[in-house]
Amino acid sequence: MQKIFQVSGVKHEELKELIKQCYHRRRALFIWGPPGVGKSSVARQAAQELAKELNLQYSEDPRDYKGHPDKFVLIDIRASQLDPVDWRGIPIVILRTNGTEKIIVNPHNLEISNHVFARTSWAPPAFLPDEGQGIVFLDELNLAVLSSQHASYQLILDRRLGEYVLPDGWVVIAAGNRVEDVPTVVEMSKALENRFLHVELEPPSVEDWTRWAANNEIDPRVIGFVNYRKELLFKFDPRGKEKAFPTPRSWEFASDMLKNVPSTDYKRIYLYVRSAVGEGAAREFIAFLKLREKLPNLNEIIRHPEKAKDITDLSLLHALVTNLAEYYSAKKSKERLRDVVKVASYIPPEFGYLVFFLTKSVDPLFWTDAMMEIKEFDPIAKKWIEKGYLLD
């Protein structure tokens, strides 16, 4: 689909770096992108890294900015749910007598004398911090009605709303879908656009997503399938009728639903995967799992790793890689990981490299410790590094 507007595209790692620099320079940033590519996820990762770099504890509890100078807080606000009056809070009456001020809860019966001064002030909403440090993340800002967007102007540029001042330890980051993605997007005024830095988050490459998935316990079957059918990592058509469709986010949902579901339980797998990524991708996923029926017996390959050399069909190699990951995850141990490494040494490097990520995704910490003791992995790793593969 043709773009309605032009914004510079960035990869996930680049966006993380940009968010962190925006925090240090206290500059507001707007992240554009289609649904499900990870806009809020990258903001969260950047906040976690900032917390670590600042030696602070990361939190997403919006109450933690109060009285917790040791915490870095991500306050996630659905801006689309805010009315214009929500930004500023509610008016309150403040009574001053002899230099002492107090808030009047019920001003209706208040009698003002010559010795009393009353004024109206504003109690800002609880989601706007008055101390601490962190990121105020305004998600879906361009789904908010135009009058609500206008109400945010001063906060984004001047870091204040009337009497309220955003503390120095905070920055505003916002995100939203592109105009061509969602029919309910409310196009921003130029005045609001000019208050932000702008970038568009691109869908991740399969390689980058695989690296992320391996460190976030995504089901090896999902990782294997996405590497087999790369075009199905992200397939979004804003004119499409299907409510579920493949995105990095929806594959994460599918992975979660597949937990503890046997690979031969095709009926349940189809039900769960279809609900996350749609019928077409779910059918492809089932067909991928059934490829294992064409493979030699896995136990025979484990006993004689050199037999893996005889498997040359690309689709069967993808199935073998996934089978090896399942063999390891079914009974995670250093011994089984060594078995997998031995087989991986006999298959093409791009598939052996994929085994690396699929097994790591089961338990990254255990995997890292175990690999340190598996001497058979050293020559394989050396070959991969020589071919330019990154072992992270």
pLDDT (tens digit, 9 = 90+) per residue, 322-343? 999 999 999 999 999 999 999 9
pLDDT of 90-143, one tens digit each?
A: 888 777 776 676 666 565 555 655 555 667 778 889 899 999 999 999 999 999
Q: What pLDDT shows up at residue 238?
A: 84
Confidence band, pLDDT 50/70/90 cuts, at residue 55: very high
The one-letter code for the residue type at 148 is: S
CB of 80 closer than 8 Å to CB of 140: yes
Which residues, at least 6 apart from 388, have a Cβ–Cβ distance to it below 8 Å?
none
Tens digits of residue pLDDT in 134-187: 999 999 999 988 899 988 999 998 999 988 999 999 999 999 998 888 778 888
More confident residue, 180 or 39: 39
How high is the pLDDT of residue 121? Answer: 78
In this prediction, residues 62-67 reach a mean pLDDT of 92
Separation between Cα atoms, residue 151 and residue 82, nearest integer Å:
10
Q: What is the distance between the alpha carbons of residues 100 and 347, in angstroms, rounded to a whole number?
A: 80
Give residue 380's identity as a one-letter amino acid code.
I
Confidence (pTM):
0.83
Confidence of residue 1 (pLDDT cuts 50, 70, 90): very low
The pLDDT confidence band at residue 35, using thresholds 50, 70 and 90, is very high
Question: Alpha-carbon distance 115 to 276, whole Å?
Answer: 67
When pLDDT is cut at 50, 70 and 90, the band that residue 252 belongs to is very high
Sequence spans of domains, the chain: 9-83+131-201, 90-123, 296-392
* pLDDT at 3 exceeding the cut of 60: no
Binned at pLDDT 50, 70 and 90, residue 248 comes out as very high
Mean pLDDT, the chain, integer: 90
What CA–CA distance (Å, rounded) separates 232 from 241? 17
Task: Look at 261 and 114; give whichever has higher pLDDT.
Answer: 261
Dihedral over alpha carbons 124, 128, 131, 137 (to 10 degrees) = -170
Tell whether the model's pLDDT for residue 28 goes beyond 60: yes
Say what the pLDDT of residue 139 is.
Answer: 95
SS3 79: helix
Please check the confidence at residue 225 and state whether its pLDDT lies above 90.
yes
Mean pLDDT along residues 316-327: 94
Give yes or no for residue 354 having a pLDDT over 70. Answer: yes
Q: What are phi and psi of 144, to 5 degrees?
A: -75, 150
Residues of the chain above pLDDT 90, percent: 67
CATH number attached to the domain at 9-83+131-201: 3.40.50.300
Residue 351 CA to residue 13 CA, distance in Å, equals 25
Separation in Å, CA 357 to CA 93, 119, 260: 61, 63, 19
Euclidean distance between CA atoms 16 and 335, whole angstroms:
37
